[in-house]
Chain A
């Protein structure tokens, strides 16, 4: 028997009114796999992450996490839309880092990292702080633990946000254009941290990115989205080196041209 995929999108569609953002998406991500999603804006790539984080509802299909339905639950042998308790149980396996950081501005870096472990996981404060200190150290910010987000640079804030997400011990990490809001000189420090957690943590990672170089170097697989569908996917060497699809070629050409 083959191992359950970590995440499986099973014919998932998302519509806003008459606009179809995702059209019958089928996507499987294996345990520990690092997958990058690229594509033009409006292609639905961020929606994939937001649906998996349950920030968006879906209109059709089922999302599975480790063989269990996330968007649905079993009732009398049938799948029915999940209630909040079920969603929270499955959602505990997923963490997310946002383009705009979304740190809690009224809390220090340390407080940001221990908030959910204490209130959601019921951890003891001392344990949560020890764990958070480790993570802040890992992202290179142990000196800044008592700083408020407004006292940190964008790159530092994003690294705190990564530590905050990891503090919940997710199995799956979602990165939504996490360097897009950063000044160019701060992009490197954040990518460095992502590289490191990719190596040191046993995580399945799914990222939407415009950093083609990073996607190429870091991912096991790259998916090119176009108009709500996966247009082409494959190992980064193939997709970047010899794209088969005309749309992919055009997109990569335009992106690489721009620089």
Chain B
């Protein structure tokens, strides 16, 4: 699917929201839902940043780290990939205080989702690094580069392109998982929707707007990743165009 289709879908979903907002039955819920959407976006963006950092670090530690770091990274990946994000949220928010560590709900949301998605992300990073041709390492060796120099200058820039599509999936997963944070007292988009629904029973307008808002947000991610992919592969693709 081309970027144009995605942009058209984004414009259409925003247009539908705008048209619906002309009706009082819909307009009524818009301010509250937008407020929730802002929190959803904040958690998604910060969680994604944490996921990138953790994904890259865990992958490098597992592939090239000394033994203790390798074990640590493996334990991290298996725990956060092997248990559900909901349980992780609950554990950090409700169980950790029993051991005397109380974290802010917003911080817990970013931590749990970021660490969860980062664990999946580390496998994408690992796969992408391994997908770079062995001859690239050999060329680096023949030029007497150190392993760190090869990784930084030769391997990671090429692996980066292969990482973009799977990371796009992960970011969208993370966006959708933010709905879970409504269960630890945060007023995100999903929480606002449920709250308004319980108070008014206007299920149709509320959840129609919420659906469109999530769709618009995930389309923004898809478009962003497509642009990034196009830009990153510019040098590699140029020859084919020429």
Q: What is the distance, in angstroms, from B96's C-beta to the closest C-beta of chain A?
A: 43
Point out the residue from B136, B143, B238, B240 that lies within 8 Å of A116, measured CB to CB: B143
Q: Does B157 contact A (CB under 8 A)?
A: yes
Name, among A84, A103, A119, A161, the residue most crowded by chain B CB atoms within 10 Å (CB to CB).
Answer: A119
- Considering the chains assembled together, what is the distance between the CA atoms of A150 and B242 in angstroms? 9
Q: What is the distance, in angstroms, from A85's C-beta to the closest C-beta of chain B?
A: 10
- Considering the chains assembled together, what is the distance between the CA atoms of A149 and B133 in angstroms? 15
B138 touches A105 (CB 8 A): no
B135 touches A149 (CB 8 A): no
Q: Does A96 contact B (CB under 8 A)?
A: yes
- Chain B contact residues: over half helix, strand or loop, or mixed? helix
Q: Chain A: interface residue count, which band? A: 20 to 34
Known: A119-B149, A151-B239. A102 touches B139 (CB 8 A): yes
- Chain A contact residues: over half helix, strand or loop, or mixed? loop
B239 touches A115 (CB 8 A): no
B240 touches A115 (CB 8 A): no
B235 touches A107 (CB 8 A): yes
Binding site for A on B (CB under 8 A): 133, 135-136, 138-146, 149, 153-154, 157-158, 235-240, 242
| Contacts A/B (CB < 8 Å), 27 sampled | A53-B141, A53-B142, A54-B141, A92-B144, A94-B142, A98-B139, A98-B142, A102-B139, A103-B139, A104-B136, A104-B154, A104-B158, A105-B235, A105-B236, A106-B236, A116-B140, A116-B143, A116-B144, A147-B239, A148-B235, A148-B236, A148-B239, A150-B237, A150-B238, A150-B239, A150-B240, A151-B242
- 9 closest Cβ contacts across the A-B interface? A150-B239, A116-B143, A102-B139, A151-B239, A102-B135, A96-B142, A119-B149, A106-B157, A106-B235
Binding site for B on A (CB under 8 A): 53-55, 84, 88, 91-92, 94-96, 98, 100, 102-108, 115-116, 119-120, 147-152, 161, 164-165, 168
